Amino acid sequence: MKEYYVYIMSNKSGTLYTGITNDLERRVYQHKCKSIEGFTKRYHITHLVYFESTDDVTAAIAREKQIKGMLRNKKIELIKTLNPEWKDLSEDWYDPNWEQ
Summarize pLDDT for 8-64 with one digit per residue, the tens.
999 999 999 999 999 999 999 999 999 989 999 999 999 999 999 999 999 999 999
- What local confidence, expressed as pLDDT, does residue 72 receive? 98
For the chain, state the CA radius of gyration.
13
Find the domain containing 14 and state its range: 4-82
CATH of the domain at 64: 3.40.1440.10
Confidence band of 94 (pLDDT split at 50, 70, 90): confident
Q: Is 26 helix (H, G, I), strand (E, B) or coil?
A: helix
In b/e form, how buried is each residue of 81-96, taking b as 16+ CB within 10 angstroms?
eebeeeebbbeeeeee
Domain tally for the chain?
Answer: 1
The number of C-alpha atoms within 13 Å of 68 and in the hemisphere containing its C-beta is 11
The answer as to whether 89 is a domain residue is no
- What local confidence, expressed as pLDDT, does residue 93 receive? 87
- Rounded-to-5 percentages of helix, strand, coil across the chain: 35, 20, 40
